[in-house]
Amino acid sequence: MAKRWLVTWSALVVLLNPARGQAQFTDAHNYDNSPVGLNQLELGYAFVHGNASIDPSLAVAGANVNVNQVIVDYTRYFGLFNRVAWVEAGVPVAHLGGSISGANFEGSNSGVGDSSCAVAMLLKGGPALDVAAFDDYTRTATIGVSVSVTAPTGRYDAATLLNLGSDRWSFKPEVAFSLPFGRNQKWQLDSYANVYFYTDNTSYHGREILRQEPLAGLEEHLSYSFTDNIWASFDSRYAFRGTTFLDGVDQNNAQQNILVGSEIGMALSARHSLLFEVGKAVIHRNSPAVFGFSVKYDYVWGKRF
């Protein structure tokens, strides 16, 4: 049941995730079928080091930043048109500290980051089954879709270079294909395609208008289940475009970045599970150069579960 997210933080978050909207990775097994009527509460800690403020889509020149973040996330699974669907909401609380060379700036910031919510559904391979009927379910290929929204609820000061909020909305539609294969279906390939869309930040650096073109991404996650309770994955993401404009002037900074990482999921019991994640940007042209890791605890409950 530990389905959510590679992530890393809501403030540098380009590797792992805060509330999904700011994250760059989507977790392996994110589109696995689950029984309807279940609830999932996730508590996570993430650390990220890099050259971005809280907005992971924008690098900060000369920045040397560390982020410590705690994430609270809730998911509810339900049936919709006889297919499994879910809604999710998350809020990060973070401490951001670092310096920016060339600007003689050093400081820190603590508080609530940008909140996020998501709605998702399996279009194929995800019949809506209650807990009792799910015992007879056999895993198969799935096709899923989702839309994530990040709201500018975090602290933002136009006069501060390192912020916990991004002062703009983001929207991320995603299409996913998951295929279990191999002996006893111990292997699984998850392929995701997504695009981040951003509204304008009208108070960037206090007086400028920041506009960013859509940032597209392709992800591949290859995982192996060692037992019914333990799985591990190798994760990768390629992101491109996302050119920015300041007061209408093209900054000629289209991004091209490749992130790699790994996850380990461990079910302690039917209700309790842990997820360990690590990720690093290995290619980061005009995009944040980050390294991060996270640990997440999931608690699941529901009727007859």
| The pLDDT of residue 60 is above 70 | no
Among candidate residues 296, 302, 289, the one with its CA nearest the CA of residue 12? 289
Q: Look at the block and give the residue holding tokens 């994250």.
A: 23
**Three-state SS at 31:** coil
Which stretch of DSSP H or E encloses residue 87? strand 83-100
Quick: pLDDT tens for 258-286.
999 999 999 999 999 999 999 999 998 88
Quick: pLDDT tens for 76-121.
999 999 999 999 999 999 998 887 776 666 778 899 999 999 999 9
What is the average per-residue pLDDT within 129-145? 94
Per-residue confidence at 11, pLDDT binned at 50, 70, 90?
A: very low
Query: 70-74, 81-85, 163-167, 210-214 — which is least confidently predicted?
Result: 163-167
Nearby residues of 79 by Cβ (< 8 Å), 6 or more positions away? 36, 85, 128
Distance CA 185, CA 134 (A): 17
Percentage with pLDDT > 90 across the chain: 70
Structure confidence at residue 217 (pLDDT): 95
Q: Radius of gyration over alpha carbons of the chain, in Å?
A: 19
* Residue of higher predicted confidence among 221 and 203: 221
Per-residue confidence at 256, pLDDT binned at 50, 70, 90?
A: very high
Per-residue confidence at 61, pLDDT binned at 50, 70, 90?
A: low
- Looking at the DSSP bridge assignments, the partners of residue 12 are none
Structure confidence at residue 93 (pLDDT): 94
CB-facing half-sphere around the CA of 203: CA atoms within 13 A: 13
**Three-state SS at 189:** strand
Intra-chain end-to-end CA distance of the chain, in Å? 12
Distance CA 164, CA 33 (A): 34
The CATH number of 20-302 is 2.40.128.130
Q: What is the CA angle 116-224-41, rounded to 5? A: 30
